[in-house]
Structure 1
Amino acid sequence: MSTPPLPPQASTPQGVPPHYAGAGGGAYTPTQVRSPEPFSGQGGGPGGGPYAGQGGEQTASRGRRRSRGVLWGVGGVLVASAVWAAAVLTVPRLVATGDPAPGTGPYRLVDDLCSTARVATFNQLYPTQSGRPYHYSTRHPALDDMYCSQYLKKTGADSDYVSLYVEAQLHKAVNPKPEFEAQRAGLEQRRYQISSVPDLGQEAYVGYLDDPSTSDSSWHYITQVLYVRDRGLTYYLSWSGSFQDGKTSPPDREQIRQALLIDSRDVLKALGGS
């Protein structure tokens, strides 16, 4: 089967270093699917940046723009810091922190989210691992963060693979509700189809995006992602894959949605939820 053309905008999975192929135990470099934008806003989501491997003049141009951007950025930070300091001294209410942190409830940090997040339904749909899963956990008085990414195939001989990304964050210093709502609005602006999910945390929704390649419109890059907020916990599980019109079948959208819901309930329960 032919390799799909790379879409013009995408990104390396959040938390996965550029040398992920080495961490995965081989030269396998997953660059043809997209990753969701994590709730933390730390990294690229769908359309968040160029694909690894796109380069040449574009890379050099981006490097020049980045250098100029750094200089402007430093100046902007200094100005913003001065303005912020003046606001703190003169108008304290402008810098109020808003709603108090709701607490993390029963949820707990785990060292290896890949081991905890079994995603049994997806493992039935795609029983073959491609490389080793990647994970990290970080601790901070204000925020604990857990992340796992893995690449799955239906059979070992299959050239197609799908990507799963899961992240759970425990917000201990702020209420994540306003940013969670902003995240949903941002996905809607990026033409994700959003549907609310009842009876999962305090707030949950599924986003779906079919993004055809600009260089070959027969190739489609599909993302389905479930976001959940429950008190101080924010969580997402994302599935990403691709298909080509007339040559491969599109993924079953409802089947993937149900897998997201079933596996996420299991993951949240494993993290201490009910």
Structure 2
Amino acid sequence: MPAGGGARRSGGNLRRNAVWAFVGALLASAGWATAVLVVPDLVSTDASPRPLGAYRLSDDFCTTGRPSSLLRLYSVSDSSAPTHHSDRHPALDSMNCSMSLKRSGAGTSDSEYASAYLRADLHKAVNPAPEFAAAKEVYRARDYQVTDVPGLGEEAYFLYKDDPGASDKTWHSVSAELDVRDGGMTYYISWSASYTEGKTKVPSKEELRTALQSDGWDAVRAMRK
């Protein structure tokens, strides 16, 4: 075998490999460009903003997000009117509502009063999904009962915690919350109250879950009108 034969074949192989590598790079570039143009979600990153669809900001979230089901368990307190606020920003629109509640027929026990807070954010510059998922794990680590709610937005979960007092174990602080994410929209409604064992109790976990889920459905629909 001539001494240079192996070198010539090697050089030919290198040239052929280079040609095919060049062709492959062109095809890959064309495919990548097509993916960017046709299927942008394939090339989005975790930090990329998510679509907001028809969600819009409301100037009065106490009206738009009115928790009708919760208000069948409570009425708005006569001593404190609901308050609301909305903010517009190129990166984030937000709206909230705070309500002081009074339970009908609860007498004078400490469970007569409660509070509700509603908030919705329209994230226009970032993807809220990673933080939404992280918050769920934080609640779980803080001993909240976490229940997934299928079919509401892209992801949703219900939170509940009945926490006895540190010094007086008969006194309980109770909280319930529904969190929803749909694309770049996040929404939550929270309720909190307290009671003392042996006296009139607050609504049950199931009553609160049913009420907050129903109000969540209504609020999500109302924000898209």
Corresponding residue for residue 66 of structure 2? 118
Corresponding residue for residue 254 of structure 1? 206
Contact 2:50-2:127 within 8 A present in 1 as well:
yes
Corresponding residue for residue 271 of structure 1? 223
1:104 corresponds to 2:104: no
Q: Give runs of aligned pairs for residues 1-274 of structure 1, distance below 5 A.
A: 98-130=46-78, 131-155=80-104, 158-159=107-108, 160-272=112-224
Contact 1:128-1:155 within 8 A present in 2 as well:
no
Q: Distance in 2 between matches of 1:122 and 1:247?
A: 21
Deviation of 1:157 after TM superposition, in Å, equals 8.5
Q: Distance in 2 between matches of 1:144 and 1:156?
A: 39
| RMSD (Å), alpha carbons | 1.7
In our comparison, the structure showing a higher alpha carbon Rg is 2
Q: Distance in 1 between matches of 2:50 and 2:189?
A: 22
User: 4+ residue runs of structure 1 moved beyond 3 angstroms?
Assistant: 155-159
1:86-119 alpha-carbon deviations (Å, 9 max, x no partner): xxxxxxxxxxx74311121110001110121221
Deviation of 1:122 after TM superposition, in Å, equals 1.2
Structure 1: gaps spanning 5 or more residues: 1-96
Range with bigger deviation, 167-176 or 122-131: 122-131
Q: Against the structure 1 CA distance between its residues 124 and 214, is the aligned structure 2 distance closer, same or farther, given a 3 Å change threshold?
A: same
TM-score of the pair, normalised by structure 1: 0.62
Contact 2:73-2:104 within 8 A present in 1 as well:
no
Q: Distance in 2 between matches of 1:105 and 1:157?
A: 42
1:100-149 alpha-carbon deviations (Å, 9 max, x no partner): 11121110001110121221111111124241011110111000010101
Q: Distance in 2 between matches of 1:103 and 1:136?
A: 24
1:141-189 alpha-carbon deviations (Å, 9 max, x no partner): 0000101010111249844211111000000001100000111011111
Equivalent residues, number: 177
Q: Against the structure 1 CA distance between its residues 157 and 188, is the aligned structure 2 distance closer, same or farther, given a 3 Å change threshold?
A: closer
Structure 2: gaps spanning 5 or more residues: 1-44
Contact 1:128-1:156 within 8 A present in 2 as well:
no
Contact 1:175-1:232 within 8 A present in 2 as well:
yes
Deviation of 1:243 after TM superposition, in Å, equals 1.2
Contact 2:96-2:118 within 8 A present in 1 as well:
yes
1:222-253 alpha-carbon deviations (Å, 9 max, x no partner): 10100000000011011111111112224211
